[in-house]
Structure formats: C-alpha cells, structure tokens
Structure 1
Amino acid sequence: MSAALSRGLCRALSRHTAPSSLLLGGHHRAGLSPWFAPVMTLKTSAPLRAEPKKKKKVDPRREHMLKERMRKKLKKMEKVAPEFIPLDDLITPTKCLDETRLERSAPRLSFGESEGRALLLKEWCRYKQEQHMAEVQAVELALEAQREALEELKLESEELYQAALKPDPLLFPFTHEGPAYTPPKSKYEAPDGKYNDITKVYTQ
C-alpha cells in the first residue's frame, strides 16, 4: 500500500516539474528529484534592507528643564491681562462730551411771544396754501387753452393736428453718449497716489 502511494506521488511531482525540466535542458533530467521543485519555479520577494530609525536619546534632565521653562512662560502670560486694541471710530470726541451741551434746554418764551409765533405759523400756512392753489389753477387754465387750440387746429388741418400731437425732441435738449469700449492697456500701471500711512500697529 505504501509503495503504491509513493509511486503515485512521484508521478504527480514529475508531471508538475516536467515543463521546468524541459527549460533546463535534457542533461539535468537525471539529476532532478521528484521531491524538490527546480530553482526556476521558486518565487522570492525583493530583499528588504531597510533599518528602523533609531530613536535619539534625549537627556531627561534637559527635557524636564524645557517643560519647566514652558510652564513658567504660560504662568507669566496668564497673569498679564490681554490688551484690547482700541477702536478709534467708536471713541466719542471730548468736545461732544461737554455736560452743558447735553443739559441745554430750550429758552422759555413769554405768553405774547408764543402767541405771536403761533399766529405767524398760521399766516405762513395760509400763504403757502394760496400759492399752491394759484399754481394748480394756472396749470388747469393752460391745459384748457391747449385743448381748445388743438380742437381749432384739427378743424383747420388734420396734418398739422397730427404733427402737433407728436413729441418735440428739441423741447428738452438732451444729449447722451454711451460708454466707449476700448481695450485695456496690458502694461499700464495705475498710480497709487501720494498718501501718508498713519495706521496704528498694535502688538500683544
């Protein structure tokens, strides 16, 4: 039984190694063992020659000193209050903080003065109303005269009537030119102008 099993294994291995043995040539067939595969059938990975990085030896005393120095700096920064940047635009000028301006009150008027101002205001309102009514009446009279003139013109000549209804472009002289499209200059440098930079720089 064992002899038959060993013969079957030898046949199977000889079948798998036949193509590779053909590549090696006929004079190597006799030297090949059925238990070992030829060298050409072996696959190997690329050699890995990398070496892990060695950790630098740090002096524990030096590391402790660095930590202590950083801790002292942090303590010193916590003690000092942060300095806020002032906003000049939100600061009220001193000339506007005068108490006399804030507490200034209207002058007291006598009874006769207040009555005179009230009568003067009523007279002014009455005058402006009359002026407005006069303007409205003048516009109405002008429109009525224009309508009557157009009716008389229509009776005389239809062509002149149609020409009178057209808008007159010369009544309001208005000239307008659109934006001129010109290609930009490629090497043109726009001038910045002269100015004094008075920007305040704050450091914390």
Structure 2
Amino acid sequence: MFKFFKSLTTHHQCVSVAARNLSTYGGPLLFRASAPMFAEPLKKKKRLDPQILKAREDRKRKKIEKSIRKLEKVAKTFKPIDEVQLMALLSNEKNIRQRPAVEHTVDQLENRLSLVKQWAKHKHDEHYFNLQVINDLEYSQQRALNELREVSEELYQAAIEIDESLLPYELIGPVETPPIENYESPDGEYIDVTKKWE
C-alpha cells in the first residue's frame, strides 16, 4: 500500500497544481485546505423591531447626555491647591492685617527717581573701573612675559606651564566596588499620599 501511494505521488507531482481552494501537492489522496476555505458563510442578520432599536439609541443618548452634564458640573469646580489655600483665621483677620495704601508726593517720587539714577551710574562706573583694572593686569602680564622671552626661552616656558600644585586634590580609592554578599536590593516601594479629586 505504501509503495502504491509512493508511486502515485511520484507520478502525479507534475500534475498536482494548486486549485483555487484545494491543493493536492504531495499526492492526489492528500487534500489540504487553503486559507479561503477557513471562512464560513455570514450569519443571517435578525430583523429587530424598529421601536426596540429606537429605544436602545434613546437609552445610549440619555446616558451620554447624563455623563456630559456630570462633567460640566465638575468642570466648574477647581482642584484645590494646598499651598495657595488661605487659613480661615487669616481670612477672618484680612481687614485688620491689610495695610493702608500710601500715596507719595511728587517731591518724594522725584527724589526716589534721582536716587535710582545715581545708583545706576555708580554701578556702571564701578563695572567700567573693574574692566580697566583687568585689562591693565593682562597687559602688564603679557608685557612681562614678552620681556622674559627675550631674556631666556627656558624661563619663559617654565613661566607659562601649568602649576598643578595650585589644585592640591588627590582621590585615592577602589576603582570598582565589590558586590556585597546576601544584599537584598530595595524594591523602591513608596506610599502614595496624593489626594484623589473626582
């Protein structure tokens, strides 16, 4: 039987062509269903009463309208911020604590304006003087280095090299930390105390 089946497969391999829905590749007795065969006919739709459909749509619409009204009510109330909330005691003492508005005369305002201008001019002059001092120091340093270079190149190179003793910082320690035996790392759990506002 096996020899007969084998001979059939060898003889019909060239004849076996994939049909639209069935394939006999591997022998005429070996049927395989292709992908379109897995489909099933569509179920027949049940005809419902139009009044039942209308009642369902009305229920859905009412439910959506109710949720919209609920959201509109919530939208009017703001989420309270604890840092901005005023204590009841302070809100009661508001009239006592409020300072009266002070009205300045024209002479006082002019005096303040002149003081602000004088302070701005003083700070400008101070900044300009500091810039001049820095420029003078840089010019003197460069002039001294140029004269030193004319005298001796070795002294000049020694003068411009970086002095590492100005930063006396040493770091001595292990490059890698060995693992701690039987160490249980924390899971990172925390207690959430955030207030829920709905």
Alignment TM class, shorter chain as reference: 0.3 to 0.5
Larger Rg: 1
Q: Which has the higher contact order (CA 8 A, sep 6+)?
A: 1
